[in-house]
Amino acid sequence: MPIVVSLCRYAIRVASLLAPTGFRAEWARDWNTEIWHGYASLAGRGASRSKARRKLLCFAAGAFSDAADLRRSAFNPEAALGRPAFCLAVPLLVLSVVFLASHGFRNCREMIAGTAVPQAQNLVLLSRSARVMGIEAVPTEEDLRAWLRVDRQVALAGFELKGNELHVTANFYDVLGVTPHVPFRFAGHEVEAIKPLDLKTGGVGVLGRLRSPIAREQLEAELSNAPSPNGGAVLTKSVEGVIREPLIFTLSTVLLSLVVGMALVREMPRAAAFFFVKTALAQAAIGAAWIECVAGPSIPPTGVNGVTTAFLMPGLLIAALALSLGYSLHDQKRRCPVCLHLLTLPVLIGSRSSIILDRPQVEVLCPNGHGSLLVPEPVVHRRDPAAWLVWNESWKSCFTLGGSK
Ligand SMILES: [Zn+2]
């Protein structure tokens, strides 16, 4: 085979990558035939080798624009949106945006890593119970003074975060176990300046470091008995636990949502696997966005839960995950059980004037020719396994996407 023909065939093979998959082989075959035909014509007319080479290479270069034109004309936006891959691409895109906007899931990474201080398991945050549905009250100056008088088994320090300034008592960094430095990340917050804490300001965060292996319940009981003008039992929470709380809450809610989804979907293994991946990706995107944009920056620096952190923020995540699961289940019912493409081409059959003998129904088809589905008219695109009618292979040639599985 002349070298120029081999070169042209190679160019056509590369250009064929631009052509739509279903048409690729046929398109390449036609172009290769044309190349041979062109070569034979030029040789028959006695064209010089350099002229034949130039003409054939110019002709082969045209294959690229022809393949691109074919792809453009074959592009069907509705078919593209109905593909199962589209459902997976959207949450992946959201995850990528959150990843870039959050410096590589910074809050998630910090929650997994915990605090980088020595013996972090001995650090606790103290609050008072507000006695209303788990809401906690920020301790006051009187609380801190009263607790300092009572207990010698825990070192206590006061702090307050105002914007990017951390106001602390003199012993704060001793209790925390690090040397003072800025910039400094404290419970998910960026600290750019450290200032002395004015204990007359009202509520303060109280950080404690257990000096001996005392049970938290025992410490809470001792501090609750301290004479202080404020009522309410004293609560202690591990600093590590407070920092990881949003991550653990998100993971457990997503897991529960996936279990509920899998119990409700009742599909064949392939469709069930698609449902699981689609739902898990969507829920992961929502969970990551919640931790990075809502929960992480709102971790109260005092570790004390108010109405926002105790109810509103978790409620927002639960609502978003429930909506996402509901949509995922609804979407699954509108898909072909074989190729998972969205069912399309709705056709109204029956008559609205004959509800009993010829009741109105809508027939939707798989665009790859796998079958059709009859659904009662008001509930368009809902797949009931009993209503699914399987078509044989001969129907596929009638459909535009018939070449794919
Ligand atoms: Zn199908």
pLDDT band at 171 (very low <50, low <70, confident <90, very high): confident
pLDDT reported for residue 324: 96
CA proximity to 257, closest of 242, 243, 241, 278: 278
Q: What is the mean pLDDT of residues 19-45?
A: 87
Q: What is the mean pLDDT of residues 168-191?
A: 81
pLDDT reported for residue 1: 63
- Alpha-carbon dihedral sign for residues 35, 36, 40, 41: negative
Compute the distance from residue 283 Cα to the ligand 1 centre, in Å. Answer: 26
Compute the distance from residue 29 Cα to the ligand 1 centre, in Å. Answer: 28
Compute the distance from residue 18 Cα to the ligand 1 centre, in Å. Answer: 25
Compute the distance from residue 396 Cα to the ligand 1 centre, in Å. Answer: 10
pLDDT reported for residue 378: 58
Q: What is the DSSP letter of 117?
A: S
pLDDT band at 128 (very low <50, low <70, confident <90, very high): confident
pLDDT band at 340 (very low <50, low <70, confident <90, very high): very high
Q: What is the mean pLDDT of residues 383-391?
A: 76
Compute the distance from residue 241 Cα to the ligand 1 centre, in Å. Answer: 48
Owner of token pair 């992961």: 284
| Helices (H) then strands (E): counts for the chain | 14, 13
pLDDT reported for residue 284: 96
pLDDT reported for residue 383: 63
pLDDT reported for residue 362: 83
Compute the distance from residue 354 Cα to the ligand 1 centre, in Å. Answer: 31
Owner of token pair 């450290």: 194
Compute the distance from residue 261 Cα to the ligand 1 centre, in Å. Answer: 22
Examine the pLDDT at 71 and tell me if it is beyond 70: yes
pLDDT reported for residue 190: 80
Q: What is the mean pLDDT of residues 212-239?
A: 78
Compute the distance from residue 363 Cα to the ligand 1 centre, in Å. Answer: 14
More confident of the two residues 274 and 125:
274
Compute the distance from residue 36 Cα to the ligand 1 centre, in Å. Answer: 39
Alpha-helical (H) ranges within 171-238 are 172-176, 216-224
At 276-329, the pLDDT tens digits run 999 999 999 999 999 998 887 666 767 677 777 778 889 999 999 999 999 999
**pLDDT averaged over every residue in the chain:** 84
Q: Which two tokens stand for residue 91?
A: 């949450």
Check: CB of residue 306 under 8 Å from CB of residue 135: yes
HSE of 122 in the Cβ direction (CA atoms, 13 Å)? 16
Name which of 51-60, 183-192, 262-271, 310-319 the model is least confident about.
Answer: 183-192
Compute the distance from residue 339 Cα to the ligand 1 centre, in Å. Answer: 4
Compute the distance from residue 391 Cα to the ligand 1 centre, in Å. Answer: 10
Query: For 267, phi and psi rounded to 5 degrees?
Result: -125, 170
Name which of 79-93, 103-117, 209-223, 270-284 the model is least confident about.
Answer: 209-223
pLDDT reported for residue 401: 65
Count of other CB atoms within 10 angstroms of residue 93: 11
Examine the pLDDT at 352 and tell me if it is beyond 70: no
pLDDT reported for residue 114: 79
Compute the distance from residue 404 Cα to the ligand 1 centre, in Å. Answer: 9
pLDDT band at 131 (very low <50, low <70, confident <90, very high): low
Compute the distance from residue 75 Cα to the ligand 1 centre, in Å. Answer: 19
Check: CB of residue 130 under 8 Å from CB of residue 232: yes
Residue 135 forms beta bridges with which residues? Answer: 132
Compute the distance from residue 378 Cα to the ligand 1 centre, in Å. Answer: 23
Compute the distance from residue 341 Cα to the ligand 1 centre, in Å. Answer: 6
The verdict on pTM exceeding 0.85 is no
Compute the distance from residue 278 Cα to the ligand 1 centre, in Å. Answer: 18
pLDDT reported for residue 286: 96
Say how far apart CA 337 and CA 343 lie, in whole Å: 10
Compute the distance from residue 262 Cα to the ligand 1 centre, in Å. Answer: 22
pLDDT reported for residue 249: 93
Compute the distance from residue 26 Cα to the ligand 1 centre, in Å. Answer: 23
Q: What is the mean pLDDT of residues 155-180?
A: 85
Compute the distance from residue 68 Cα to the ligand 1 centre, in Å. Answer: 27
pLDDT band at 219 (very low <50, low <70, confident <90, very high): confident
Name which of 9-23, 208-222, 255-269, 296-310 the model is least confident about.
Answer: 296-310
